Every structure is written in structure tokens, then in C-alpha cells.
Amino acid sequence: MIKVGAIGDEYSSSTHGKVFDDKGRTKISQIFISHDHLCIRSIQFQYVEDGDLVLSPLYGANKGSKFDVISFDLDDEILTRVSGSYIYEYSRIGSLKFDTNRGTYGPFGIVKSSDIAFDFCCGNYSGFGGFHGTADDGCLRKIGIYINPRKSIKASSAEEISEVKVERATQIWTWENLSDLSIP
């Protein structure tokens, strides 16, 4: 499993907040986000584990003026990207946006051009492997994700199959191979 981020680590040596680590939780059912005009105040996840719904602890505090719930289609919706902004001046996450194979949720929070943008791609397969970061009673301070690399060369979608075919065709039809062909 690959640990990506947490955004904020490279900009701040701040020890604000309590570390959280949801490594190995791959299937998301819901995401709960408290936010306002200043930042992401809290985040909480509901995962599917062994056929049961499991709620993570609350990371941060539900004291934002806005509260949103993202509900995933459990049959075939997967998280493909987590992006947002980090407010360097205050060492906190300003905004979050979640992309799936079915659509986009957000942005939540505040997006300002002076903030540091981040963009974590999980891939168009079931590559998501959990969240990690830090939060305190004021806000979400840092966030990152885990990514599961593919475990086989078997493509998992028609799009990936066509990409594999294109790659193989490129490898087969090199200039050396074409010089052997006789063209009438």
C-alpha cells in the first residue's frame, strides 16, 4: 500500500491536532463534512468492512455553519480522486473535493487562489486504501490517502483493456518491424 501525503506535512512542522489513520479501509459508504467560510471543520467516514457498515471516529469538530453528506452507490461507485486546498497561513485544510467514477462532490469549504492546491488520484480502479491526517477541535489540519497498487495485470474495465491493447500494439509495430513489411 502506498501512503500519499498528508498535505500540510511539507509546509508545516506544526504538531497541531491528533493523528488519524484509516489504512486498509477500501470501500466508502458515506463521507460527512462540516465546513464554513474559513476551512473544513471536521470529516468522518462510513466504510464497508466484511459486509458491515463501520463509522470512523469524528476527525475535527462539527462546528461549521455547513454540513454535507456524500452517499456512495455501494454497487459500483468508487473514489478516484481527492483534491482541495491547504491554507498555509493557518495550517489547515481549506477545501475538499471528491471525484468518483460516477461524478464529483464538492468543493466543500473555501477555495482561495492564495491557498496551496493538492490533487491525489486513486486511479480508475478500486485503488483507494483509506485516509490519514491530523485534526483538532478546531479543524482538519492535514489529509492524505492510501493507494492500493493493482494486484494483477488483468484489466478491470473496458477502458483499461483498450489502453493495454494500444500499449501492446505500440510495442509490436516498431520501425524495425515495419521495415520488414512489403507494401505494394
- In which band, very low, low, confident or very high, does the pLDDT at 25 lie, cut at 50, 70 and 90? confident
**Mean pLDDT estimate for the chain:** 81
* 119/139 Cα distance (integer angstroms): 20
Tens digits of residue pLDDT in 32-60: 999 999 999 999 999 998 889 999 999 99
Backbone angles phi, psi at 15, to 5 degrees: -100, 20
User: What is the structure's pLDDT at 108?
Assistant: 97
User: What is the structure's pLDDT at 113?
Assistant: 87
Q: How many residues does the chain have?
A: 184
Tens digits of residue pLDDT in 105-156: 999 999 888 899 999 988 877 788 899 999 998 999 999 999 988 777 765 5
User: What is the structure's pLDDT at 125?
Assistant: 74
- Of 5, 18, 21, the closest CA to residue 132 belongs to 21
DSSP class of residue 58 equals P
* 151/18 Cα distance (integer angstroms): 33
Alpha helices in 27-157, H assignment, sequence order:
none
Q: Is the pLDDT of residue 174 over 60?
A: no
Share of the chain above pLDDT 90, in %: 49
Could you check whether the bond before residue 107 is cis, i.e. omega within 30 degrees of 0? yes
Question: 144: how many CB neighbours lie within 10 A of its CB?
Answer: 20
* 30/70 Cα distance (integer angstroms): 5
Cell numbers found for residue 68: 454535507
